[in-house]
Amino acid sequence: MNLTHIDESNNPKMVDVSNKNDTLRIATASGVIKISKEAFWAVLEKRAKKGPVLQTAVIAAIMGAKKTSDLIPMCHPLMISSVKIDIKELPNLPGFKLYATVTLKGKTGVEMEALTAVSIGLLTIYDMVKAIDKSMEIGPILLEEKSGGKSGDFKRR
């Protein structure tokens, strides 16, 4: 099995997509942050009013998706068509699960954009509650599903 991002001299390269067609591509990723009960309720109490922690995470995730090619060295710059973020409360963990769905009419898949959005969104929650809880854990972050493109659709079982 070959690594597509490595050239014949063993150097990393940005894969050539100039011959690919512009098709609709959609990817959804998700990620969890596990936090203490105290931190969980501090976030939710605020949310009852205006929800600044979760809403900051939503916005950071959207902006993070747009920065993917600036952060991940071999990613192509893309004109993302949409980003949508959802955050589910997990009171039993306790914690939060953040979903990002990214859409593109373009030449390459957007799973990295969805995964980057999830990562930045979860780091933002971490940042805003770290004064209360330093033992938080981020993960698992994973691809839920993707469609469009030559390599076929994917849906996590």
Residues between 8 and 27 that touch its own copies (CB under 8 A): 9-19, 24
| Helix, strand, or coil (residue 119) | helix
Q: At what angle do helices 37-49 and 52-66 cross, to 10 degrees?
A: 90
- Whichever of 77 and 91 has its CB closer to its own copies, that residue is 77
Least separation in angstroms between residue 43's CB and its own copies is: 7
Residue of 35, 39, 96, 99 that binds its own copies (CB under 8 A)? 39
Q: H-helix or E-strand containing 65? A: helix 52-66
Nearer to its own copies, 3 or 92 (CB): 3
Work out whether 43 is an interface residue with its own copies (CB under 8 A). yes
Q: Which of 22, 127, 133, 153 is catalytic?
A: 127
Question: Residues 125, 111: contact at Cβ < 8 Å?
Answer: no
What does the alpha-carbon distance between residue 88 and residue 75 come to, in Å, rounded to a whole number?
Answer: 29
Residues 66-125 that bind its own copies (CB under 8 A): 66-67, 69-87, 103-107, 111-112, 115-116, 119-120, 123-124
How many other C-beta atoms lie within 10 A of the C-beta of residue 117?
33
**Cβ nearer to its own copies, comparing 79 with 92:** 79
Considering the rule CB under 8 A, would residue 37 count as an interface residue with its own copies? no
Active-site residue 127, yes or no?
Answer: yes
Q: How far is CA 8 from the centre of its chain?
A: 31
User: For residues 10 and 92, which CB has a smaller minimum distance to its own copies in the complex?
Assistant: 10
Contact 138, 126 (CB under 8 A): yes
As annotated, the active-site residues are 127
